[in-house]
Chains A and B, each alone.
Chain A
Amino acid sequence: MSNRTVSQRPNGQNQGKICQFKLVLLGESAVGKSSLVLRFVKGQFHEFQESTIGAAFLTQTVCLDDTTVKFEIWDTAGQERYHSLAPMYYRGAQAAIVVYDITNQDTFGRAKTWVKELQRQASPNIVIALAGNKTDLANKRSVEYEEASQYAEENALLFMETSAKTAMNVNDIFLAIAKKLPKNDGNVGNGLTSPGSRRLGDADGGSRMSSGCCK
């Protein structure tokens, strides 16, 4: 089972190490989680991005000095009801982006709840970033930058205001996460963490999932 993927080096990357990290996006629905991922992974923006049911998965690689960082991104459904599925996705994640919509105070409140849950339930060393999305709609802002920034500071979160539509800060926030993630040997070529299975009765599944790479 462990031989399922050998990470491939992007062309021209012959030296340096390759790290893989599992990253999960969380936040209220319609704040722009899928749009952020789409912008980061494909450089696209769909105005009518359809809602995510369950979760979607995408990967993207970024280069940091001599290290190639491969993100395995789990983009989750935002609706509260899908909450029960969330642990399946954030379990074993080394990074999380919690997204809210700067034009909607409620989504910020929900983001705080997600941060709390991650701090309590996720891997202890998880890198959490807070993204205030939709800055292109700044004229309808209802969450002030300072408010969110201060909250992020208190909780040791990375923080940026982003816009999937204009691409503002989208790559930056992923890069910032990549920088903050520890890149020791444990990650090299073995960052795979798949959500576990209870049903398949895989005895070592649980330990492998939580083993992660960042210890």
Chain B
Amino acid sequence: MSEIDTTLDYKFGAQTLFALRHTGEICGSNGLPLTPKSIGILGKSQILKTFKHASLATYLDFIRGKHERLLIVSEFKKQNLKSRLYENKSSVIKIAHQVLKALAYLNSNGIVHRALCAENILLDEKGDVKLFNYGLYHMTNNGLDVEFPIGSVKYMAPEVLVSVLNKNYISGPKVDVWSLGIILMEIIFKTELWPKLKLSQCLRKVLSLIYCDDVLSRFARESDKMQIYQEMDSDLKNFLESCLQVNPKNRSIPEELLKHKIFEGVTEMQFINDFEEENNNGHPLNLWQLHELYYLWQLAGGDVHSELKRNGLIKTKPPILSVPSLILLEGMSFGHIKDPACMLDLKVVPLSLDALTARLKHINFNIYYPLIETKLHLINDLENSDKELENLPLIIRERDTEYQLHRIVLYKRLLQGYPYTRRRIYHEAIKDIPPIFRGEIWAALLDVKGDIENEYIAIDKETPIPTDRQIEVDIPRCHQYNELLSSKRGHLKLKRILKAWVVNSQQYVYWQGLDSLCAPFLCLNFNNEARAFASFSAFIPKYLHNFFLKDNSAVIKEYLAKFFHLMAYHDPILAKHLQEINFIPELFAIPWFLTMFSHVFPLHKIFHLWDKLLLGDSSYPLFIGLAILEQLRDTLLQSGFNECILLFSDLPEVDIERCVTISSNLYFDTPRSITFRKFQLNSSTDKLPYTLTEDMMSEIQKELNPRLDVVDFLELVNSRDTRSNVLVVDARSNSEFGEKSVAGSINIPYESIDFKNDISSGIPSSPELSVLINNKGKMIIIIGQTASEAAKFCSFLTNAEFSKVCFLNGGIDVLLSSGILTQVNSY
């Protein structure tokens, strides 16, 4: 095998520009501050990242800097057409064809290049075209959000210059055709157009063409290339002439031009995708999608901002030199006006991959080709360093280049195999979810599949509905610290998804809070509304079944009652305290559960929280609630009603990783039937054969302690692992106990208990109770004569600060056929 090249080709570059600044008025007519133009650009530019075309340089990232600066990262090649102006005819046709293909693709996505020039036609190693800077006009809102003109004058179509003062003018696809004509002409005439003219002279030149009938021959004459002109192939001449039509009406659009005669016989360029195995001698990362590579580059310490700084594209001036000389009360400022010419720097800084290469040098190439289905454990054993990494805190793992490399490699494979790999995806997600694929993985965990694209398209998101007003007032205050969500594009998308949901789920209505609930999905799938919608729509029935009914009070009441049951079960001291000060969950937990915490935490915390939430069932959020209380426990226990409620109105910092750990510990430490709810979504497949039925629920809500179903009871009592941690207390009379009882259970007749006696001090009033005290910490299951007696016994124990107290639903009768009852003769 030949030597493997361990270096990475250099792949992407960065450039920077400034957005137009708002002057004067700081607030719009709605009283809200005007959204900075750079945010607008950021929102509009996202879609560009989705464009994948062989002849387009892929956009990778848009970053907002200080003072309305924007950094743009995109695929980049050092060669461009400008440096290779003298080509032969066949390559002219090839270039024209590829550029037109790319333009037609952009047009079909509603985009016009507008800045087409020789410098913006990059050429790769094989001489194939990569169109560059094609998103500038689109992302800047047709040039309105920046101070500089888009495009270079020499190549501009005359109608663009004529319309300069017309604010409503928007360039169409034909302006690019003109520019292409000029570029090709330069190549064919082997000369640069007007090399010595100043900008103003160029302007005049272009405008002078307005009354010209035959642009091509005029150029030939002016540049002294009549010979070439006359010898030119007639098809090519015809092609150029149709590009260089002064009146746009007579000019073709790229799509039409592709059918031109000169392209007959041009072989379709093979669409090389990034997975092509052609150069498999190179570094495996060369075959990666660029955005994945860029992501790793950042993890390995790559910083676009500092690269630009190092190359002099970002200069920092001392603040004293950049503050205005005078500011009026209305916000107008004077002095230090920025020259519009310096608002855009066309220079591109190539971003070196050296650091990343060095970082990954020692990595065995085998890891790039994981074996998913076979002997995975063997491979994992080889990667000991990986194992160590797994135990590091999540925050560190997420920033570790190597670890993320492993995860990306693995998940890429798994996601390609979805939905068949869903179980593996779930299994891996228990460890963690790599941020780069979070949107996709969440969708997989939520079982989103099928033709979501068309399903989403089919929903009417435009017709006004009565809910519009509410959605419209909620969106401008939903997670607005996030740049994408605060952009106009973001608002629009969020509105569309929410409307689609309201229209699509007729039994439900829009509740405030749904906006927050939708935000994480939109944020992760900003360029894939359909997936955001599908994930959002799958999330709600799974975790918030019936929460958004017009009248949801019964659902919420039951949920909060369960929350209190769990609190009593796991933390009787806190439950007792909160009950005493009358601090009921209704007062603080509604926004928690109604929005699955998305209204209480910032997005970066929600991501980590939901990473785990999505692995659990609909009861899992209850445990997250408990875990939050756990972090505030000490304060709560020392506080009265007012202090408690104040604490929750302005929730202190919550450590999410700890919250996740504790909630999952509690989750696994709780028998399933304890969290059983009437309103949970019970699909027919996983319906449990519980004796707990829906009509008991109103009774259950009044109780303070949870009921345990016989299914769980038998499992706990029959399993050796759990048996020793369970204490079964039979509260029936001595004689009944003697007749039949659970083996190993103890008998404390209900009548014998002095309910006024507080045994929390540890002094038992009877020998039976002393057994309980000695077994404190074990799970205590009460079997009562009646449910109300058992419930009272339970709450007596909770008050005495016994944890894990519950009672068997249905009492001794449900055990009659189980075969675990024995006769005790000693009585």
A47 touches B702 (CB 8 A): no
A79 touches B591 (CB 8 A): no
- Interface of B, helix, strand, loop or mixed by DSSP: helix
* Contacts A/B (CB < 8 Å), 28 sampled: A5-B643, A29-B512, A30-B474, A47-B32, A47-B33, A48-B476, A48-B477, A50-B599, A51-B512, A52-B512, A53-B599, A56-B649, A58-B649, A79-B470, A79-B512, A82-B511, A85-B590, A136-B31, A140-B29, A192-B641, A195-B587, A197-B584, A197-B586, A199-B586, A199-B701, A200-B582, A200-B584, A202-B582
Total contacts A-B at CB 8 Å = 116
Residues of A1-48 at the interface with B, using a CB-CB cut-off of 8 Å, are: 1, 4-5, 29-30, 47-48
Contact among B30, B512, B515, B579 with A81 in the assembled complex (CB-CB below 8 Å)? B512
Q: How far is the CA of A4 from the CA of B580 in the complex (A)?
A: 9
Please give me the residue from chain B that is nearest to A29 by CB atom: B473
Q: Does B376 reach chain A (CB closer than 8 Å)?
A: no
Residues on B with beta carbons closer than 8 Å to the beta carbon of A57: 587, 642, 645-646, 648-649
Please give me the residue from chain B that is nearest to A20 by CB atom: B642
B595 touches A53 (CB 8 A): yes
Please give me the residue from chain B that is nearest to A136 by CB atom: B31
Q: Does A149 reach chain B (CB closer than 8 Å)?
A: no
**Distance in Å: Cβ of A27 to nearest Cβ of chain B:** 12
Q: How far is the CA of A39 from the CA of B490 in the complex (A)?
A: 29
A84 touches B584 (CB 8 A): no
Residues on B with beta carbons closer than 8 Å to the beta carbon of A29: 470, 473-474, 512
**Distance in Å: Cβ of A115 to nearest Cβ of chain B:** 21
Residues on B with beta carbons closer than 8 Å to the beta carbon of A48: 32, 476-477, 480-481, 486
Most buried by A among B515, B561, B587: B587
Contact among B582, B594, B649 with A197 in the assembled complex (CB-CB below 8 Å)? B582
Task: Given the known inter-chain contacts A1-B580, A81-B509, A205-B582, please indicate yes or no for A51 contacting B515, CB distance below 8 A.
Answer: yes
Q: How far is the CA of A134 from the CA of B476 in the complex (A)?
A: 16
A5 touches B590 (CB 8 A): no
Residues on B with beta carbons closer than 8 Å to the beta carbon of A156: none
Contact among B584, B586, B591 with A53 in the assembled complex (CB-CB below 8 Å)? B591
Most buried by B among A54, A56, A58, A136: A54
Contact among B513, B516, B579, B648 with A200 in the assembled complex (CB-CB below 8 Å)? B579
Residues on B with beta carbons closer than 8 Å to the beta carbon of A78: 512
Task: Given the known inter-chain contacts A81-B550, A88-B586, please indicate yes or no for A51 contacting B474, CB distance below 8 A.
Answer: yes
Please give me the residue from chain B that is nearest to A137 by CB atom: B31
Please give me the residue from chain A that is nearest to B647 by CB atom: A57
Q: How far is the CA of A115 from the CA of B468 in the complex (A)?
A: 25
Q: How far is the CA of A183 from the CA of B564 in the complex (A)?
A: 38
**Distance in Å: Cβ of A161 to nearest Cβ of chain B:** 15
Residues on A with beta carbons closer than 8 Å to the beta carbon of B780: none
Fill in one digit per residue for B635-654: 1 if any A CB lies within 8 Å of its CB, else 0: 00000111101101100000
Please give me the residue from chain B that is nearest to A77 by CB atom: B512
Fill in one digit per residue for A42-78: 1 if any B CB lies within 8 Å of its CB, else 0: 0000011111111111110000000000001000011
A53 touches B513 (CB 8 A): yes
Residues of A150-165 at the interface with B, using a CB-CB cut-off of 8 Å, are: 165
Q: How far is the CA of A4 from the CA of B478 in the complex (A)?
A: 36
Residues on A with beta carbons closer than 8 Å to the beta carbon of B591: 53-54
Please give me the residue from chain A that is nearest to B486 by CB atom: A48
The bracket for how many chain A residues form the interface is 35 or more
Q: Does B581 reach chain A (CB closer than 8 Å)?
A: yes
**Distance in Å: Cβ of B642 to nearest Cβ of chain A:** 6
Closest 5 CB pairs of A and B: A30-B473, A54-B590, A53-B591, A4-B640, A48-B480
B642 touches A192 (CB 8 A): yes
B478 touches A50 (CB 8 A): yes
Q: Does A171 reach chain B (CB closer than 8 Å)?
A: no
Residues on A with beta carbons closer than 8 Å to the beta carbon of B31: 134, 136-137, 165
Q: Does B655 reach chain A (CB closer than 8 Å)?
A: no
Residues on B with beta carbons closer than 8 Å to the beta carbon of A197: 582, 584, 586
Most buried by A among B582, B583, B591, B701: B582
Residues of B545-602 at the interface with A, using a CB-CB cut-off of 8 Å, are: 550-551, 553, 557, 560-561, 564, 579-584, 586-588, 590-591, 594-595, 599
**Distance in Å: Cβ of A14 to nearest Cβ of chain B:** 22
Fill in one digit per residue for B513-537: 1 if any A CB lies within 8 Å of its CB, else 0: 1011000000000000000000000
**Distance in Å: Cβ of A46 to nearest Cβ of chain B:** 9
Q: Does A194 reach chain B (CB closer than 8 Å)?
A: yes
Please give me the residue from chain A that is nearest to B470 by CB atom: A79
B512 touches A1 (CB 8 A): no
**Distance in Å: Cβ of A40 to nearest Cβ of chain B:** 14
Please give me the residue from chain A that is nearest to B587 by CB atom: A195
Residues on B with beta carbons closer than 8 Å to the beta carbon of A84: 551, 553
Q: How far is the CA of A78 from the CA of B553 in the complex (A)?
A: 17
Most buried by A among B473, B509, B581, B599: B473
A5 touches B642 (CB 8 A): yes
A82 touches B512 (CB 8 A): yes
Please give me the residue from chain A that is nearest to B513 by CB atom: A53
Please give me the residue from chain B that is nearest to A202 by CB atom: B582
**Distance in Å: Cβ of A162 to nearest Cβ of chain B:** 13
B512 touches A194 (CB 8 A): no
Residues on B with beta carbons closer than 8 Å to the beta carbon of A52: 512
Residues of B309-342 at the interface with A, using a CB-CB cut-off of 8 Å, are: none
B582 touches A194 (CB 8 A): yes
B557 touches A50 (CB 8 A): no
Task: Given the known inter-chain contacts A4-B581, A192-B642, A199-B557, please indicate yes or no for A53 contacting B477, CB distance below 8 A.
Answer: no
Residues of A101-128 at the interface with B, using a CB-CB cut-off of 8 Å, are: none
**Distance in Å: Cβ of A122 to nearest Cβ of chain B:** 19
Q: How far is the CA of A33 from the CA of B2 in the complex (A)?
A: 72
Residues on B with beta carbons closer than 8 Å to the beta carbon of A58: 646, 649
A51 touches B582 (CB 8 A): no
Contact among B477, B481, B642 with A51 in the assembled complex (CB-CB below 8 Å)? B477
Residues on A with beta carbons closer than 8 Å to the beta carbon of B478: 50-51
B587 touches A55 (CB 8 A): yes
Residues on B with beta carbons closer than 8 Å to the beta carbon of A1: 580-582
Residues of B30-64 at the interface with A, using a CB-CB cut-off of 8 Å, are: 30-33
Please give me the residue from chain B that is nearest to A32 by CB atom: B31
Residues on B with beta carbons closer than 8 Å to the beta carbon of A201: 702
Fill in one digit per residue for A176-212: 1 if any B CB lies within 8 Å of its CB, else 0: 0000000000000000101111011110010000000
